[in-house]
Structure 1
């Protein structure tokens, strides 16, 4: 009987990783998401009273960095684009939590009536009058369809330290900002886990980085 030829050893695909290595990189991307969200939240607290452009700008860079990390983990682009949706919740929650929490903790509530309104583009400014007379600080709304009119009565919250802008009391919701932040982080976590699984499979098959799947 002829001896059977010894089968050639399997040659691993270029770029293939062990399952343990893929799990490690996936967990690293998940932790990066939590780190980025935490850093931007802390930055918003530190810069409280300064223009929101600071934490917004840094937050956008961190969200972009997370999308790049997902792209590298996945070896494809569609999940990095998908990470933009939860990134919006992370950005809003991390930026707005600090001022909302400050107003909720130390803010003073006042019942007021709108006595005048001005608009420049999409920036609406409402002059308010309370029991002690006209307030020095207006109510500002940036956007379309503000929903306020002269003569409307509402309750506002003012910061006695003058750091945070006056806000409609009905819209002061730090718990909602925490919820937005956690929702965004949950989306990032699912995205990273899916990217890790798909990326591991792509590397095992020798598939290279592309724009689609």
Structure 2
């Protein structure tokens, strides 16, 4: 007696997504990172002469958005947490590039001597004297270890239009800030590729976003 054969029924893994969908979402997250870099750098240029709070706040929001996007793509937090490293490069580079570029392009170099210092918390204001007399603008350092002392001679760059605050010429590094943006972009792109691949594998295995073993 023959036994009727039944057609094989494929097993559909819960939560699986087509590879094309995962690839598209990976491209979206990578593009989001690049968009954050471009937009925040542009805002930095548009707000030269104003408070840096605008690009700083916008940059923080953008970096947080990228981290959340990586979390959703990867379905785990550890890559999102590690993305803080390239985010720091992006934030510092996009905020400081514009004012340093302005000083490099139109700044006037002056040899000065530090004559006095006023400290308020972590804000240090160093009074300067040039060849033609005291400068109206101090050298401002925000931090706990400024590395400057009274009597020290150094070269500073001043903005003739008064939009960008005076800065130590040795600390103005436009090329370095651009390199930071490139490193940030490369880092975010690599994280997006890794998150997309691992997320695709997780979804193919039917893992849920809030699985107990997710970290």
TM over 0.5: yes
Equivalences for residues 175-186 of structure 1 within 5 A: 175-186=175-186
- How many correspondences in the alignment? 212
**Hey, what does 2:146 align to over in structure 1?**
146
Aligned partner of residue 12 in structure 2, secondary structure: coil
Question: Deviations along 1:156-186, whole A, 9 cap, x unmatched?
Answer: 0000010000000000001100011111111
Equivalences for residues 76-115 of structure 1 within 5 A: 76-115=76-115
Question: Deviations along 1:28-76, whole A, 9 cap, x unmatched?
Answer: 1101100011000000100111111110001101111111111111111
Give the alignment's Cα RMSD to 1 decimal.
1.2
* Distance in structure 2 (CA, Å) of the matches to 1:125 and 1:81: 36
**Hey, what does 2:205 align to over in structure 1?**
205
Q: Structure 1: give runs of 5+ residues left out of the alignment.
A: none
* Distance in structure 2 (CA, Å) of the matches to 1:139 and 1:105: 19
* Distance in structure 2 (CA, Å) of the matches to 1:155 and 1:212: 53
TM-score (norm 1): 0.96
1:49 maps onto 2:33 in alignment: no
Aligned partner of residue 118 in structure 2, secondary structure: strand
1:21 is displaced (CA, Å) by: 1.3
* Distance in structure 1 (CA, Å) of the matches to 2:178 and 2:214: 33
TM-score (norm 2): 0.95
* Distance in structure 2 (CA, Å) of the matches to 1:156 and 1:212: 51
Q: Which moved more, 1:100-109 or 1:74-83?
A: 74-83
**Hey, what does 2:192 align to over in structure 1?**
192
* Distance in structure 1 (CA, Å) of the matches to 2:208 and 2:78: 14
Contact 2:75 2:214 in 1 (8 A): no
1:189 is displaced (CA, Å) by: 0.6
1:3 is displaced (CA, Å) by: 4.6
**Hey, what does 1:127 align to over in structure 2?**
127
Q: Structure 2: give runs of 5+ residues left out of the alignment.
A: none
